[in-house]
Amino acid sequence: MQYRDFGNTDLRVSEVGFGAWGIGGPAMAGDIPIGWGDVKDKTSVEALRKAFDLGINFYDTADFYGLGHSEELLGQVFGNRQDVIIASKVGHRLANDQSIFVDYSKQYIIHACEDSLRRLQRDTIDYYQLHTAKRADLEQGDCLEALEQLRQQGKIRYWGLSLNTFAPEPEADYMLNNDLSDGFQLVFNLINQHALPLLEKAHQSGKGIIVRMPLQFGLLTGKFDKDTRFATNDHRHFRLTPEILNTSLEALEEAWPLCDKYGISKTALSMSFILSFPEVSTVIPGIKTPQQAETNAQGVVQLDTEDRDFMVSLFDSHFRQVLQQMQQQG
C-alpha cells in the first residue's frame, strides 16, 4: 500500500481507502432504498479487519449510511485507535414522514456530531464533511460556524465538503474563493470526469482530495452484464436501469483492451486511472467483503501518459452521453 499527504493537513492516508456506505445495510427512506441491499455484519467486520491488514488506514462513512449502522461497525472494530483515520459526514436525516431531509443548521450539526462520536467510539473525528451541501447553505453560514466550533472544541480535526455528483463547481468555487475547508470529496472515474478541472485547482489550494464512486456503482469492475438486475432494497435498482446498463457497457468496450496491455483487471485499471492523477489523496471504493478489500487494494499500476490521456478523451467521445442518462435517472 502506498500513502499520500491529505492536502496541507498532517494526515497521511492510504491511496486506497474504504468506502463504508455498503456496510450500513439495506436502510430505507420511506420506500426509497438508501443502502446497497442485504449485508451480514459478520462479513462487514471481516472486511474492515482485512482492509486494515492490507494497509488501508482511511475509512469514509456518514451518519446516514445505514442510519448510523456503518459508524457503529467502525466503532466496534476500530474504536479510538490512532492509527486509523476516520472521515464521516453530516447533513442528511429522516423527516417525521421518513422522507430524506437535508439539515445544515448549526444546532443539528453539533448534535449529529456528538451522536457520530458515540457510535464511532472516538474522542474526535479526523475529517468531518458536509454531505453535499449547496452553495446557499454555505453562504448562509450556520454550517460553517458549526464546523469551526466543533474543531475548536477538539471534536473534529479537519473538515471539508462532499461535492455534488454531476455539478461540483458552484460549491467548490465558493470554498476555494473564500479559502475555506481542508478538502473535498468528489466523484471522479472513467465514466464521470466532470470534476477533472477541479483537481489541479483544489490541489494548488492545499485541499485534500477524496475520490468517491471510483467504480461507478460496480459498472467499472466488469462483473455486470446487460441482464444484471438489482434487488429492490439496493439503490442501484433505480439508478442502473437496463437502458443505462446497456449504454454503459457498450461504451466501456473501448477502454478494456488496456487491461490486457497491463495484465490487470478492469477494477485495477479503473483505480489506476484515478490514482494516475497525483492531486488525488485517496480513492474510496465501496467495500463489503474481505474479497472486495483485496481486489480493490491490490493491482494498481502506473499508467503510461498516452494511455491516461486516451482514457480522458473517452469522456467526450463515449461517456458524456452515458452520464447524461445517469443524471436524468437521479
pLDDT of the residue at 328: 87
Enclosing H/E stretch for 210: strand 208-212
Yes or no: say if 304 and 8 are a contact pair by the CB < 8 Å rule: no
Indicate the number of domains in the chain.
1
Residue 39 domain boundaries: 3-329
Q: How many CA atoms lie within 13 A of 224 on its CB side?
A: 25
114 to each of 110, 148, 156, 219, 247, how far by Cα in Å?
7, 15, 10, 36, 44
- CA dist 41 and 35 (Å) reads 14
CA proximity to 54, closest of 321, 296, 314: 296
Whichever domain contains 277, its CATH number is 3.20.20.100
pLDDT of the residue at 17: 98
pLDDT of the residue at 298: 87
For the chain of 330 residues, list the mean pLDDT of each consecutive stretch of 10. Answer: 97 98 94 91 98 98 97 98 97 94 97 98 98 96 98 98 95 97 98 96 97 95 92 90 93 96 96 98 97 93 97 95 88
Reading the block at residue 176, the C-alpha cell is: 476555494
- CA dist 44 and 187 (Å) reads 24
Yes or no: say if 156 and 144 are a contact pair by the CB < 8 Å rule: no
pLDDT of the residue at 330: 74
pTM above 0.85, yes or no: yes
CA proximity to 85, closest of 150, 23, 17: 17
